[in-house]
Amino acid sequence: MALAIGAASAASALGLPLVAIDPGHGGADSGAVGSLPPGTVTGLTPRADAAGNPLIFEKDVNLDVGQRLNAILQANGVPTLMTRNTDSAGGDVPYVSEGADLKARTDLANAQAAQLFVSIHQNSASSALGTGTETYVFTGTGPASRALALAIQQSVIARLLLTDRGVREANFYVLRNSAMPAVLVEGAFLSNPTDALAVASPDVRQAMAEGIGTGVLNYAGMLGAGVVQQPVPTKISLARSGGAVSRRAGINPSRGDLWVATVIDQSGIPMAGVPLTARLPNGKGVSVSTRGDGKALLAVPRRRGRLNVAVALPGIRVNARGDVPARIR
């Protein structure tokens, strides 16, 4: 059943955008592949290796989440288009090459004058330890795509409760060649046995779709029956933790402190997935992103001077400064 997040009757009055939903990979391109315990029931097309051990293909997860997202948005009055509806390449044609596949996806969205582009993927890494959710925008993109990515990242993290890897930049083809605000969501790592087993569950895939859908609706200005402003960072609250908290974080309080930077939006709500840059008193630069609770943690060595923290988003000038005490001898 589709989740009715908002009032569908208000769709035309609010001018909700046409959303291109792009389930990544398909056809001969399986995308990432994960291993599952014997007997795992996924509700997806059964996949197995040569020894009969169950596998999970990224292309299947992406299509399932995309179809669920499509139902959710349409239930809320949002017009949509799918770049593929079957196990095939973009445009529901046989897979020929990666270049042709990716071009078909953006060509379709651009030709239909879509106003938002949401590409759905799952991640993979050489190490099985990689885990979590991240959302990508095109390198150097403007504030519209970043605001959409932040809204989706925050909403998906709140539902999946996986590691928050933040909003990141990349030169992905579908982000570079879409003529509208575009994001690419990496829901979980299929190379991580725990993440892979999670997305094997239909309930988790539904939660992922609901998270993306809520983020899209929030960005579009509608959540429930009312209008909600898209979140924009307006303030950083910077605080130095006490000695006990620093010790629990593995920091010797005589040599350093744990500082907490909380990013707040225009409604006073903490924001997840916001990239920050920090300049420590020793001159070292650090890059972090806020977690699902809107907080970023910084291990700051004691050296009398200033800690400077700023939001690392184009066109947004929000920063905070804190006085760092000298080392205790």
Residues with catalytic function: 186
H/E element, 143 = helix 143-160
Nearest to 80 by CA among 184, 217, 211: 217
Helix (H, G, I), strand (E, B) or coil at 30: coil
Q: Contact 178/115 with Cβ under 8 angstroms? A: no
- Bridge partners (DSSP) of residue 19 are 80, 116
Helix (H, G, I), strand (E, B) or coil at 58: helix
| CA torsion angle 314 80 70 37 (round to 10) | -60
Please give the Cα distance from 6 to 9 (Å, whole number). 9
Q: Which residues contact 284 (CB under 8 A, 6 or more apart)?
A: none
Helix (H, G, I), strand (E, B) or coil at 205: helix
| Strand 305-311, strand 319-324: pairing | antiparallel
Please give the Cα distance from 147 to 115 (Å, whole number). 14
